[in-house]
Amino acid sequence: MSSTSIRFQWSSVIGADKYFLVVDGSSNGERYNHSFTTLSGQVDGLTPSKSYDCYVYSSNQAGLGASSMTKTITTSINRVMSISMDYSCSSGVVTVTWGQVFGANFYRADAIDVNGTALSCTSASNTCQITMLNCGERYLIQVTAISFDCQSTSNTSTYFETVPCAPSQLTTYHECSSNVIIFSWAPTNNTNYYIATSLASDGQVVECHTKDTECFFTNTGCGHTYQYTVYAVSNCNSETSSPKHVRTSPCIPQNIETSAGCWSDVLITTWDKAAGALSYTVEAQGNNGDSYNCSSFTNSCAIPGVACGESLSVWITASDDDCTTEKELGEAAQTVPCTPTNVSASVDCSPNSALMNWTVSKGAGFYIAMAQHADGTVRSCHSPGPNCLIQGLTCGKTYTASVIATNMKCNSSQSQLVTIETGFCPPTNVSTSLQCDGNMGTVSWAAVARADMYLATATGNDGHTHTCSSNSTDCSFTDLLCSEIYAVTVVTIDRGCHSDPSPDVELRTV
C-alpha cells in the first residue's frame, strides 16, 4: 500500500521561535509530531484516504503557546497503477480491468476520443464494460479511483482502436462498350485493406482485395444486374456497406427475322428478347436509298409506309436506361414488288395469241400476264422481262388482260386492265360442189361477222393448188384437173391477217 504526504502552512505567532505540528489519526492509531522553525512543513508516510486531526503549537524559551484551531484533513487516494482492456469486435464493447487501490470505494473507467468526448462505466470491483463506442475511433483508457472525499486519475493509460466503420459514399461507374464496372468508396479509419464483393443476378460471386478505395470488375456479362458491397479489414472487420446496384449493357438481340406483308406496306421485324434490354430500335435501309425505323418495348416492331420493290438491310439495337448495344445485322428483307405499269396488248396475224408489254417494276423476279374471258377461261404467260406472248386464245373473242410482278414470295397487286380482241375465226359450214362441164368447183360457207373478205384454197393430191377469193360467202375454182381429189379450206381475211384455215372439205373432179 502506497503512502501519501500532506504539506502544511500556518501564520506566524509573535514571539514564537519554533512550531510543533501534530497530525493525529487516532482512528487508526497514527500520530505524528514534528517541529519546524519555518511557517510550513510536510508530513510523510500518511495512510491514503484517511482523516487526520491537525493542529499547531507555537513555542519559545518560555514554553508552549496555545494550539491552533484543529483542522481535519483527509489524505488523497492513490492512483490506479495498472490498466488492461479487452475489446470485442462483434459487440463493440471494451472490458477494462485495473489494479485496485486501497481506500477506493468505487472506480470510473473512461474511454476518451480524439475530440475529448468520454464514454464511461463505473464499478466497485476491478472491472467494468464501456458500451456505445463509435466505430473507427482511437480511444484513450483512464481509470479514476474514488473515495468518499477524494479521487485520483491513473497516471498510466492504454489506447485501443474500435472496429472500422462500414465504408460509405459508394459510387459506381459502368463503361457501356466493355461492361467494365469501377466500384469506389470513401476511406475509413483503422483499416488495413478492403474486400469488395460483386454478386451477379445469376449468383456468381467475385471478390476484390485492395488497399485502395476502388476496385475494377472486368469479367462482367451483358444483361446482368450486379450488387456491390465492401467492408474494411483490420484486427476487426467492419460491417458490410449498404449495397450498390449496377445493370450492365443489354445483350445483343438474336434470331432477327424480318418480313414484309404481301398485302400491305408494313415491314415486321421479330427477335429473341435480349437480357437486360428495356427497349429496342429497328433500322432498315432500302436498296433505293430510303431509310426506315421503329422502336419497341417488346420483341417485335412494325414499320408502316415501306415502299414497294425494296430489298432491305435490317439492323437492331437494344437499350436500357444508360447503354445501347452495337447494331446487330439481321437477314435482308424484300417488300412486295411494285405493280407493273404501262401495260399494253397487241394481237398479230395469229388469231390465237397476244403479245403483252409493260414497264419493268422494282422488286420483281419475274412477271405473269393473264388474259381472262367472260366465261372464266384464263390463259397466261410468264417472263423475267417486260413482255411475253399469251397463246391459246380463242379466235373472235374479247379478253381482259393484266400483269402481276412476283419475287417468289409475294405478288404485286394487279396492273391496270387492258382489252384483247383476238383475230377472226375461220368460216364454218364450208361445203363444195362440182360443175362437171369444165371441171369447175364451187365452195361456200357461213359468213363471219365484220370480215373483209375470204380466201378459199383447193389442194390436189400432188400438192398443186387453186385459189379463189370473195367478199361474199362463196367462190369458184376453174381449170381443176380431172380425176383429182382436192382438199378445200377457207380463211377469213381482216386487215391483211388470215384466220386459221377451216377444216378440210373434199372436192372430187371427174
Q: Cβ(504)–Cβ(490) under 8 Å? A: no
Residue from 443, 424, 430, 444 nearest 499 by CA? 424
Tell me the pLDDT tens digit for each residue of 218-261.
989 999 999 999 999 998 999 999 999 999 999 999 999 988 77
Q: What is the pLDDT of residue 57?
A: 86
N-term to C-term CA, the chain: 179
Tell me the pLDDT tens digit for each residue of 468-479.
999 999 999 988
Tell me the pLDDT tens digit for each residue of 282-306.
999 988 888 999 999 999 999 998 9
Q: Cβ(185)–Cβ(167) under 8 Å? A: yes
Instruction: Kindly provide the residue ranges of all beta strands, DSSP E only, lying in 113-157, ordered along the sequence.
Output: 118-123, 127-130, 138-146, 151-153
Considering the chain, what is the average pLDDT of its residues?
90
Residues in CB range of 324: below 8 A, 6 or more apart: 176, 249, 250, 317, 318
**DSSP code at position 324:** B
Q: What is the pLDDT of residue 149?
A: 67
Domains (ranges, CATH) in the chain? 4-74 (2.60.40.10), 83-161 (2.60.40.10), 171-247 (2.60.40.10), 254-334 (2.60.40.10), 341-421 (2.60.40.10), 431-508 (2.60.40.10)
Q: Which residue has the cell 460491417?
A: 239
Q: What is the residue-wise DSSP string for 67-112?
A: E---EEEEPPPPPP--EEEEE-TTT--EEEEE---TT-SEEEEEEE
Residue from 148, 132, 218 nearest 183 by CA? 218
Q: What is the pLDDT of residue 6?
A: 76
pLDDT in tens, the chain (510 residues): 455 777 888 888 888 888 888 888 866 777 888 888 888 888 877 777 677 788 888 888 777 777 777 777 777 778 888 999 999 998 999 999 999 988 788 999 999 999 999 999 999 999 999 999 999 999 999 999 988 767 788 877 899 999 999 999 999 999 998 999 999 999 999 999 999 999 999 999 999 999 999 999 998 999 999 999 999 999 899 999 999 999 999 999 999 998 877 777 888 999 999 999 999 999 999 888 889 999 999 999 999 989 888 888 999 999 998 899 988 888 888 888 999 999 999 987 777 889 999 999 999 999 999 999 999 999 999 999 999 999 999 988 899 999 999 988 889 999 999 999 888 889 999 999 998 777 899 999 999 887 889 999 999 999 999 999 999 999 999 888 888 999 999 999 887 788 889 999 999 887
Q: What is the pLDDT of residue 252?
A: 93
Residue type, 177: S
Residues in CB range of 262: below 8 A, 6 or more apart: 336, 409, 410, 411
Rounded to two decimals, the pTM is 0.62
Q: What is the pLDDT of residue 65?
A: 76
